[in-house]
Structure formats: C-alpha cells, structure tokens
Amino acid sequence: MKVKFISIFLLMVVLLTGCVKDTNLNDTKKIKVVLIKNKKEKEVNIYTMKLINGSDFVIKQNNVNVSFPIKITQNAYKGNEYKVEAIGNKLDIQPGEDIILNVIMPFEGIDKSLLALDHPSYQLKGYLGKLDNKHLFSVGGDLINK
C-alpha cells in the first residue's frame, strides 16, 4: 500500500513539474525593437523606437541602449562603450505589449569621423518572467539596416 501511494505521489510530482512553463531562446526571438523615426540634426540624432514584447512572458527591469560602432577600417567596426539609454521605458512589459522609446544621441565633444553614424546599434537587456540569472537575456543588433 505504501509503495503504491509513494509511486502515485512521485508520478503526480513529475507531471506537475513538467507543466511549469520555462523560457527558452525562441522567447527572446519574439522580442523586437523597431525603428519608427530617425531625425538627424546638426549636433544630435533623435531615434523613436517601438519595443514589442511578442513573448509569453513579462519583460522585467529591462534597459535599452543605443550606440554608434567605432570604425576600425572602412569595412570593420568594433563596439562602443558610449551608450545612451532610451527614455520612456517601463519596469514590467506585459506579453503582447508595445512601448515607445526615445533616444537622443548628442555629438557634442565627439569626433564623428570615428563613428559609423549610419549604423546605430541597440542592446536590450532584461529578465523574462523572473529576476534571476537563469532568466536574464540580452538581444541587440543594427537599428536601421535590418
């Protein structure tokens, strides 16, 4: 009787833990940052973007940054530590929710000849569902030439 009860209990535990939804790489592919507007002025570029949460999870405590790669040669670039954080972000972005973000990139005091101004890149870091290292993610890429 005890063996039968323990077997049924273990079977229930296995079935219930199998029903918990967990994140994977496909969830991060459903999160997009899309450029809506690009306004260039003499000493500043202004980008309006839409962050789209197409995943099944809440995006928690995320940061969206934009930067210009640094030119090494005519066809080679490297990352740039000078990043500007987007304005208008939220701590929790629900599944299916879109938010509008703005980035103002000033050029004052910067040697623009060293930057790939036609190739701004973005980086989104955050958590899917839970605030722990297992659910930390980062996505990014070219903001204009997708």
Q: How confident is the model at residue 77 (pLDDT cuts 50, 70, 90)?
A: confident
Residue 109 burial (CB count, 10 A): 6
Count of structural domains, the chain: 1
Within a domain: 59: yes
- Residue scoring higher pLDDT (69 or 18): 69
Within a domain: 9: no
Residue 135 burial (CB count, 10 A): 16
Q: What is the CATH number of the domain that holds 81?
A: 2.60.40.1230
- Residue scoring higher pLDDT (50 or 107): 50
The helix (run of H) or strand (run of E) holding residue 13 is helix 2-18
pLDDT recorded at residue 16: 46
Residue 21 pLDDT exceeds 60: no
pLDDT recorded at residue 2: 57
Within a domain: 1: no
pLDDT recorded at residue 5: 46
pLDDT mean over 50-74:
94
pLDDT recorded at residue 24: 64
- Residue scoring higher pLDDT (108 or 16): 108
* Coil/strand/helix, residue 34: strand
Q: How confident is the model at residue 22 (pLDDT cuts 50, 70, 90)?
A: low
pLDDT tens digits for range 91-108:
899 999 999 999 999 988
Within a domain: 14: no
Single-letter amino acid, residue 79: G
Within a domain: 51: yes
Backbone angles phi, psi at 83, to 5 degrees: -125, 150
pLDDT recorded at residue 137: 94
The residue range of the domain holding 44 is 23-142
The angle at the Cα of 92, spanning 91 to 97, to the nearest 5 degrees, equals: 125
Single-letter amino acid, residue 10: L
- Determine contact, residues 103/66, Cβ cutoff 8 Å: yes
pLDDT recorded at residue 109: 84
